[in-house]
Amino acid sequence: MLAKLKMVLCSAVTVAALTMGQATAQPADVDPEGTVTMAWAGPLASLDPHVVPGLADQIYLFLMYDRLTNADSNVVIQPMLAKSWAFGDGGRTLTLQLRDDAKFHDGTPFNAEAVKANLERAKTVEGSTVKNVLASIESIDVVGEFEVRLNLAPGQGGDLPAVLASTAGAMISPKAIAEKRDLRTNPGDAGSGAYMPKTVTPGEGVVYVKAPVDYWDKEAGLLKQFEVKFVTQAAARLNGVRAGQFDLAQILGTDMGPAKQLAASGTIGAYDSTTSNVQSLLLRASRPSLENAKIRQAVAHAIDREAISQAVFGGNCLVTDQPLVSTHWAYNKDLAGFSSYDPEKAAALVKESGVASPTFDIVFAPGSSWEPQANIIQGMLTKVGIDAKLVPMPQQDGFTAFRNGQLDAFQYVVPATVDPSIMVNSLLTGGYNLAPADVKDKILEMAKLGTDPSQSTEQRASTYRELFKMAAENVWLYPICASKAVWAHKKNVVGVDKAGWYFASLPDFRSIYVSK
């Protein structure tokens, strides 16, 4: 896998062109009236791919927006609306060859002008959450109807083939862009993917119908209707599949065992996947209650990760010291065991801090797997002399408030991404913006080096290892464990095992269908 990833992402000057294979064809056993209702653990926040608070929304977005590239479950970058791509001019350009048979839901043809309009919007639209990962693009030239050239800032853009597989590379109808349509809750026919939203209920879910145009990929968009519903509890999601209420559901933690037992009995189907999503405690070092580094370091040694994995996830969560798991090409093996459980050391650090009666708030979403994590952490911190006050808050409210710098700590998850550059932006330099002001310039410079097209894979990896070492030493975030998941489904739902993006637990289900 790594050899392929290196070839695709990190060639010094040129990324090998990837070409499309044979024309696709619809499977013979598709039920054209088939519908799927999926229970998902994340609430809908936005259907605007360029203004999306969290990566969890991706599972909603990928159904209605195609991207320029795609990523399979091995994090190998694949063609999508871009058939091939190559760096040129010593790494100063990235040229994309585009499909000539794609249309937006409103009938507008997809072409190079559409790519230009989308990338310019993604970089400039108010509230853009993807502009930082596209900052390496200085300008965009339409070379031909189906050829576009991205002109890059010197030493930047090496991560773009991967970045364009995320929502940063999602394609919106130029007509909707020109109309300045609010896509967050009412995208209408602005999409480019296999499905179009019919009913959007913020915080709850979306009902999609098959795209109203002749879709270019005959192996996708095979359902008459696809509904994604937000259901907080994994047990409720599993019971819903068992009872026939849901056709597909994500199952996590202690409920994975019962899901596997049901599959073994032949009652349901189940696809067992591993992810790179890391359960984490995010700490705002700029807050008065957490600005003392020794208090944050005490937190890191007071928490028993393995105990949390066993108690909350039934052991179905791999303990880790960093937001990259051990199979990732930028994983820092020197951080293994770096902040090991040592309550005596934690108590000593509290005393060394000079802070009398240290206390801070931990915000969590009630009813989620983050609630028991927060409760366990509170007890562990109490034992070393830190008073953690638990603050239940609806997930989206807590997420937004923490991103806005209004909270001390947030019990959440660090989602996996197609390239560490996206994670660095999300965690340190943008998004959560966890890097304190006094080191921000240094981290921005390192982040820039990590995207240099002239850097080899190992050179890029070295940069990211150093960045996450800084995060671990300063405890700007505290990784706990990487989640595993089972996708439970009715036995007539086909293709669950072939969806991409399982590494992020955000599979793209555009190609699943119901068999006759």
Render each residue's pLDDT in the chain as its tens digit; 516 residues: 333 333 333 333 344 444 444 456 788 899 999 999 999 988 888 999 999 987 778 899 999 999 999 988 777 889 999 999 999 998 899 999 999 999 999 999 999 999 999 999 999 999 999 998 899 999 999 999 999 999 999 999 999 999 999 999 999 999 999 999 999 998 999 999 999 999 999 889 999 999 999 999 999 999 999 999 999 999 999 999 999 999 999 998 789 999 999 999 999 999 988 788 899 999 999 999 999 999 999 999 999 999 999 999 888 888 999 988 787 888 999 998 899 999 999 999 999 999 999 999 999 999 988 999 999 999 999 999 999 999 999 988 998 999 999 999 999 988 888 899 888 988 999 889 999 999 999 999 999 899 888 888 899 999 999 999 999 999 999 999 988 889 999 999 999 999 988 888 889 999 999 999
Contact 494, 27 (CB under 8 A): yes
Beta bridge partners of 98: 82
Beta bridge partners of 226: 36, 208
Phi then psi dihedrals of residue 403, to 5 deg: -60, -30
The model scores a pTM over 0.85: no
Can you give 171-236 as a three-state secondary structure string?
CCCHHHHHCCCCCCCCCCCCCCCCEEEEEEECCCEEEEEECCCCCCCCCCCCCCEEEEEECCCHHH
Beta bridge partners of 269: 489
Residues 305 and 300: their CA atoms lie apart, in Å, by 10
List b or e across 473-505, with b for residues whose CB sees 16 or more CB atoms inside 10 angstroms: ebbbbbbbbbbbbbbbbbeebbbbbebbbbbbb
Token pair listed for 336: 């293994």
Contact 98, 81 (CB under 8 A): yes
Beta bridge partners of 150: 94, 140
User: Structural domains in the chain?
Assistant: 2-11+27-228+492-514 (3.40.190.10), 275-483 (3.10.105.10)
- DSSP state letter for 155: T
Cα distance from N-terminal residue to C-terminal residue, the chain: 35
Contact 493, 251 (CB under 8 A): no
